[in-house]
Structures are given as C-alpha cells and as structure tokens.
Copies of this chain bind each other. A is one copy, B any other.
Amino acid sequence: MASISIDIERVQSFLNKHQTTDRSIVLVTSGGTTVPLEKNTVRFIDNFSTGQRGAASAEYFLERNYIVLFFHRISSILPYQRHIKTIFDESQTNQTYNHDQYHKHKDSLLLIPFQTVSDYLTGLEQLCGLLKIFNRAVLVYLCAAVSDYYIPNNELTEHKIPSGQNELIIHLKPVPKLLGFVKGKYAPEAFVVSFKLETDEKILEEKCLQSAEKYNQDIIVGNMLQTRTNQVQIYERMEKQWTTINRSEGNIEQKEIEFQIIDFLCDKHRIYRENLK
C-alpha cells in the first residue's frame, strides 16, 4: 500500500489546454484516505467511503460544462466506469450510452489518485496551488472522507505489528487540519464546498456551524451516514442560510441526489463568479 504522489506536470499540461477558457473548473476530492499503522504497510485505518458521491458529482459537473480534476482514493468508484456492468452481470443493459457520455466529456476530466492521508493533504495543497490563477472560476468540492487521526511517520514501526499479543494499543494523533488553508492560503478566490458526515442527527447542524466558523468554507453540506443518498442539509456561511435538499423521487431519469446538489452549487458558484466581474 505505497503512497502516491501527484504527477504535477501532467496536471499542469491538462490545465494549460484550458487556460484561455471561461469555463468553470472544479476540484472534486473523493473516497476515503488511509492511515498506515506500519511503515511496511500491512495494516491501516480506513474511512467508510465508496467514492460514489464524488463520482456521481463529477459526472453532473461535467454535464454542467465544468472542467473536472477528480482527486480520488485509488480503487474507489470512478465517474462513468461505475455504470459499466461486470463480467458476472448477464443483464441485457445497453452500455453504449455510458461509453458515449464518457467520450463526450473525457477531454474535460482528469483522474488523479491518492492513497494515504499524507498523499491527500500534500496533493490538495499542490492542486489548489495550480488552480489559484483561475481565481473565482474555481470550485473546490471536498467530499473525500479525510482521516481525523493518524500515526506521524516518525512514530511508525518498521515491520508488521506482531500477532499473538494479549492486547494491542494504538496511539493516534490528530491529523493537521488544513481545510482552513484552502480558502485562507492555497486558493483564496476559490468557491469552497465541504461535506460533513455524522451518524448522530442531534449534532449534525452544530458540527456544520462549527466547521464553517473554523475553516471559512463558502458552503457546507451536512449529511447523515444512514440517509446520505436521500437528504442533505446545506449551509451557506455568508448568507447564514440553511437549505434542505430531499432527493426528488419523481425527477426525470431517476437521477441521484448529487444531481440536485450540483445544480444548487453551480447556481451559487455562478453568482459568486459574477459578483467580482
């Protein structure tokens, strides 16, 4: 489970192709980060996250004509690929539509993988650094499930933790919180959206408000583990305004809730861009 560095030149050359455009650009982060428990990593702590939300969101951003950097946990769910049936699926579903959609949008999509929480934090800074010059055209959409606790590199054991002990005690330190730097330093003009996932409904709203206060995102999307595919609570920091989005069952083509979330966010981002034109 080696860590993965970003190929900066590859990202830069992708962005260069779009340098003269007026299109909006979104950095989507997706999937869970890992925390190695050993240097030669056999064991690690992971976050529950299939990457479904990020992958679906990326597709809807592409439909809205965004350029998409998809910064994702390696082997998490990928845009378009997620619709392709496996060799075991013998249903007669037509796959042409998904292939066509991918080919229509592929020049606007760049896949950038990460593995560990350190990869993620380093990569986030690097990618925001490359996007900074696009100013308000940039939306940073943080739906990766970032680890809260980790073992700093200098405290990791070299080899596999031996089995057969009566108890294993793991001491974890808090992961440095870099979220505030996105707006505060890395890409100050970007429109920043982050997600907050909880399992206890009673504390969700409070957690979103605390997060907004600390990290200055423009928008926070609160969601519950159990109902995340059907409902989200959106908080706009500047407007101090809550909006609840329920997945509308009657929507055309039975699209996922991400369709409605992206619709909402693109409107807010458009207004944000226009405000400084």
Taking Cβ atoms with an 8 Å cutoff, the residues of A that contact B are 1, 34, 37-38, 40-48, 50, 75, 78, 80-81, 84, 86-88, 98-99, 102, 111, 145, 147-149, 159-161, 163-174, 197-200, 225-226
CA distance A57 to B105 in the complex (A): 38
A173 contacts which of B50, B99, B167, B200 (Cβ < 8 Å)? B167
CB distance from A206 to the nearest CB of B (A): 12
A99-B87, A160-B198, A165-B174 in contact; A43/B37 too (CB < 8 A)? no
CB distance from A174 to the nearest CB of B (A): 7
CA distance A75 to B74 in the complex (A): 13
CB distance from A62 to the nearest CB of B (A): 14
Taking CB atoms, residues of chain B closer than 8 Å to A167 are 171-174
Apart from A40-B199, A78-B88, A84-B86, 18 more pairs, CB < 8 Å: A1-B48, A41-B48, A42-B47, A42-B197, A45-B45, A81-B86, A81-B88, A87-B99, A87-B102, A88-B102, A149-B168, A159-B200, A160-B198, A163-B174, A165-B174, A168-B171, A168-B174, A169-B172
CA distance A43 to B37 in the complex (A): 14
A170 contacts which of B41, B84, B163, B169 (Cβ < 8 Å)? B169
CB distance from A72 to the nearest CB of B (A): 12
Interface centre among A43, A75, A167, A197 (most CB of B within 10 A): A43
Taking CB atoms, residues of chain B closer than 8 Å to A1 are 48
CB distance from A95 to the nearest CB of B (A): 9
Interchain Cβ contacts under 8 Å between A and B, 7 examples:
A81-B86, A84-B87, A87-B99, A160-B198, A160-B199, A163-B174, A169-B169
CA distance A149 to B166 in the complex (A): 9
Taking CB atoms, residues of chain B closer than 8 Å to A164 are 148, 174
Query: In the complex, are the beta carbons of B48 and A46 less than 8 A apart?
Result: no
CA distance A163 to B207 in the complex (A): 11
Taking CB atoms, residues of chain B closer than 8 Å to A165 are 174
Interface centre among A87, A172, A173, A200 (most CB of B within 10 A): A87
Query: In the complex, are the beta carbons of A170 and B173 less than 8 A apart?
Result: no
CB distance from A200 to the nearest CB of B (A): 5
CB distance from A224 to the nearest CB of B (A): 10
Taking CB atoms, residues of chain B closer than 8 Å to A99 are 87
Instruction: Return the chain B residue nearest A148 by Cβ.
Output: B163
Taking CB atoms, residues of chain B closer than 8 Å to A170 are 169-170, 172
CA distance A102 to B1 in the complex (A): 29
A174 contacts which of B38, B50, B87, B166 (Cβ < 8 Å)? B166
CB distance from A66 to the nearest CB of B (A): 19
